[in-house]
Structure 1
Amino acid sequence: MTATLDSPVRIGKPAIGALGTLALALGTLQAVVEPSLPLLQHDLGIGPAEGPLIFITLLITGAVVAPIAGKLGDRYGGKRVLIVLMTLVSIGGMLSSLAPNLPVLLLGQVLQGAMVGALPLSFILVRKHLPPGQTQVAVGLVSGLFTGGGLVGMLIAGPIAEGLSRHWMFAIPTIAIIATTLIVARSMPDDPPAASDSRIDWLGVILLSCTLVALVLGFTAVAGGGLPPLVTGAVIVGVAALATGWVVVERRVPSPMVDLRMLAAPAMWSSCVVTLLMSLGFGMTVYLVPQLLSTPAEGYGFAASSTDIGLLLLPATIAGVVAGTIAGIAARRFSPRAVITVGAIATAAALLTLASMHDATWQLVVARALIGFAVSVSAIALLAGIATAVAAEDTGIATGLLVVTRVVGVAIGAQIAGAILEARIDPASDLPNESAFTTGFAIAGVITALSLLAVRIMKKGARA
């Protein structure tokens, strides 16, 4: 008998356990790059300007996959799409593990970015195959294990990369993903696709992908210097043309990937501005802190290994997890705008403090944890605020806009930080001057502080 939404095929603990284990493995694979980024740069022979590409490439794919993963699952069946995406992630993980150079590693990271679709597709599956009460428990389990995977990845990246090699750092989580995907394929029943008249905006997907890639690569090329003015101008024109084409398509198609018409609402565009500015500062921080920790101790650095960096960044990861559990409560009790304001002030203060105080590891650890907590709380409060500021049927579109904006902000922020370090490399040591880190933290703090201006507009938009 064919299963329908009215008579779903129930699933047991093994299927839920497989989904949870898959989420754990995905979270681990996603988290191994940040603590090992200096090691990867050294092994691949790349400088500070190219280093952020490793970190942000996965995010770019995620920004494209996030808005359409649920639509694909509803149209073609959650299990089928999940297996396809996990196949791409597995190929990407193996490419990353075998990568002899930066281009191959970046290709692997592009494919790994398909993992962003795993959570919404998992939620589709448990919603179709479990009663409401059990669905909430299963969603919490899968989400929690994905977050826990981030902690695991942060801890194991350094020991594996230093004890075995950077190749195994990607290979071990990928092997776990392959194994658990096979278990999901066997234990999870097929779910019927839902009837839908809306089409997938494939042209919008392609144009957004090209725009983001061109933006990041163009920024890297321009920031690296040495380009003739005409070439620099051509890069800028090319990115602008792709972005314009995407905007035109999204405004005209019946079912856009991202409905840009919502940006006309003050609450929407002000939330996007706040998200962009805070994400810029956060992206700069995520890149600068590991670079400073790994700099040789002769002078101003700490000579931290990948293992050390993972341990030192662990409080920041835990702070982000804790933020997720209390952000909704805080937003409901004090209002999203109040939470966002406090988060922006705390982030800016921590960054500006780092600009003048970064000569001890505890300063970096405390500041990074505070920034991770404040940015995570603010991001969730922004989602909660916009979800109540727009019509119920527009909630998915509005939150999708914020997700894309956040990814773009983090990507550009990391690139800005890399460009600052690249511009102030000491020819004698081939390392950035300490002033580069001071400048980077100060700029990140000022950018974050500017978000407070947009927060003021949010209140007016909410009243309107």
Structure 2
Amino acid sequence: MAVTLESPVRIGKLAIGALGTLALALGTLQAVVEPSLPLLQRDLGIGNAEGALIFVTLLITGAVVAPIAGKLGDRYGGKRVLVVLMTVVSAGGLFSSLAPNLPVLLLGQVLQGAMVGALPLSFILVRKHLPPGQTQVAVGIVSGLFTGGSLVGMLIAGPIAEGLSRHWMFAIPTIAIIATTLIVSRLMPDDPPAESDSRIDWLGVILLSCTLVALVLGFMAVTGGGLPPLAVGAVTVVVAALATGWVAVERRASSPMVDLRMLTTPAMWGSCVVTLLMSLGFGMAAYLVPQLFDVSAEGYGFGASSTDIGLFLVPATIAGVAAGAVGGIAARHFGPRAVITAGAIVTAATLIALASLHDAAWQLVLARTLIAFAVSVSAVALLASTATAVAAEDTGIATSLLVVTRVVGIALGAQIGAAILGAGTDPVSGLPAESAFATSFVIAGVIAALSLLVVRVMKKGTRA
């Protein structure tokens, strides 16, 4: 069992503000792709499948990096690992800003994906340096500011890409990340590493990473169409074999990457399943709404530019920012289950309503805003309750598993949405049928509604 070498220094608002500022810069870099995705597709000469790949590449890397970052942060200190990750993210931002083609841009997105590990590392720091009663609020603030960065990204992506170039929309947030990382390094006190004579379970790390990558890439290949049944079966067998191997290794490891006993508790597995289901619905909406705005106004769409799409998504981003603070406070006062239940109901109802109510821009704006608020409130409540429901030395790995689950869910949701649109595309006009959008929204709503069945088994209590 790990033993902390010394009591950590308590931190104040300035240090939390530094973490939040870094989260703001990271959210900005992450968000520039969504409103400019149609522009990137045209500029690079790629279709819906390749566009969805740009959207999910960062998320795939994040799914791999987050649990590793959380585990290393638990062992060696959150601040130390955070600074290393931000160096990788900065390199990725530079690659994306200089990318002349799709492969280089994808490489930049792969490196940028390390930013997903910043959230569990931030949760480690606030758990170590704050009293238990303030941890949930701090988690909400950091999460909210990460979402707040999305607001900045949504606003600057279109004007910068259209006024300067798509290269600068990556470069400017990258410069901000470099600057804010230096501020965090100076203001945030060092958190002492844990003393342990056990080794990192690298085999478990590798197997989990391979499982996640195989799952997402395999799902992309299957939803992309064209694979024979034998190939689909082979993909399924590979993912199942990797997952089985990971479980076998973790059960035998003296110091496993993930304590499987922790995963069997209703609070933990319930949180993971709810997060996955709601993230699937959110990922579909996040991909579909910009595509619907981009469809020619001569048909059922709106013919919006990247700048217009970014402006249309601003209210949703503001709602996500507000949800960060509201989620932590609401979870503290009303309990996580009540907050998550309300969020799931609003998300499912709004998605299903979008199937028929998408004739006016305000309908899409309102629906996207409600979905963003409901999903973000639920995500913060899940993260905050998990951060206090597990032992202190497991904070990083437990919260990173939720972050990974959310990332994978959003990535798979985007792929599902892209696959449905691709299947419903007219080969002559190259435009998806309106019914393809309606079908996608209904499926997304049903998936989100399934999370209500899981919420009932989640435990209310948390550990101090």
The question of a shared fold, defined as TM-score above 0.5 by the shorter chain, is answered with yes
Distance 1:11 1:282 in 2: 34
Matched, 1:239 2:239: yes
What does residue 225 of structure 1 align with?
225
What does residue 294 of structure 1 align with?
294
Alignment of 1:124-143 (within 5 A): none
User: Which stretch of the first structure deviates more once superposed, 340-349 or 191-200?
Assistant: 191-200
Distance 1:263 1:70 in 2: 15
What does residue 102 of structure 1 align with?
102
CA gap 1:53/1:204 in 2 versus in 1, 3 angstroms: farther
What does residue 320 of structure 1 align with?
320
1:376 is displaced (CA, Å) by: 1.4
Structure of greater relative contact order (alpha carbons < 8 Å, 6+ residues apart): 2
Q: Is the 8 A contact 1:77 1:191 kept in 2?
A: yes
Q: Is the 8 A contact 2:139 2:328 kept in 1?
A: no
Alignment of 1:247-266 (within 5 A): 247-266=247-266
Distance 1:210 1:138 in 2: 33
Amino acid at match of 1:445: G
What does residue 160 of structure 2 align with?
160
1:401 is displaced (CA, Å) by: 3.3
Matched, 1:442 2:403: no
Deviation string, structure 1 residues 242-291 (Cα, Å, up to 9, x no partner): 22222222332233333333333344333332222111111111111111
CA gap 1:32/1:336 in 2 versus in 1, 3 angstroms: same
CA gap 1:259/1:103 in 2 versus in 1, 3 angstroms: farther
Identity over the aligned pairs, expressed in percent?
A: 84
CA gap 1:165/1:348 in 2 versus in 1, 3 angstroms: same
Q: Is the 8 A contact 2:123 2:395 kept in 1?
A: no
1:339 is displaced (CA, Å) by: 2.3
Q: Is the 8 A contact 2:120 2:399 kept in 1?
A: no
Q: Is the 8 A contact 1:343 1:375 kept in 2?
A: yes
Amino acid at match of 2:102: L
Distance 1:241 1:447 in 2: 26
SS in 2 for 1:350: helix
Amino acid at match of 2:402: L
Q: Is the 8 A contact 2:11 2:130 kept in 1?
A: yes
CA gap 1:301/1:234 in 2 versus in 1, 3 angstroms: same
1:450 is displaced (CA, Å) by: 1.8
Q: Is the 8 A contact 2:127 2:392 kept in 1?
A: no
What does residue 72 of structure 2 align with?
72
Alignment of 1:31-42 (within 5 A): 31-42=31-42
What does residue 368 of structure 2 align with?
368
CA gap 1:41/1:211 in 2 versus in 1, 3 angstroms: farther
CA gap 1:73/1:383 in 2 versus in 1, 3 angstroms: closer
User: Which stretch of the first structure deviates more once superposed, 149-158 or 431-440?
Assistant: 149-158
Distance 1:313 1:369 in 2: 8
Q: Which runs of 5+ in 2 are unaligned?
A: none
Deviation string, structure 1 residues 167-214 (Cα, Å, up to 9, x no partner): 111112112333444566678787764433343332222222222222
TM-score, length-scaled by structure 1: 0.86
Amino acid at match of 2:118: A
CA RMSD in angstroms comes to: 3.6
CA gap 1:169/1:263 in 2 versus in 1, 3 angstroms: same
What does residue 24 of structure 2 align with?
24
Amino acid at match of 1:288: L
Distance 1:11 1:268 in 2: 28
User: Which stretch of the first structure deviates more once superposed, 30-39 or 212-221?
Assistant: 212-221
1:343 is displaced (CA, Å) by: 1.5
1:149 is displaced (CA, Å) by: 2.4
SS in 2 for 1:109: helix
What does residue 356 of structure 1 align with?
356
Alignment of 1:47-62 (within 5 A): 47-62=47-62
Q: Which runs of 5+ in 1 are unaligned?
A: none
Q: Is the 8 A contact 1:251 1:261 kept in 2?
A: no
How many residues end up aligned between the 2 structures?
459
Distance 1:9 1:329 in 2: 24
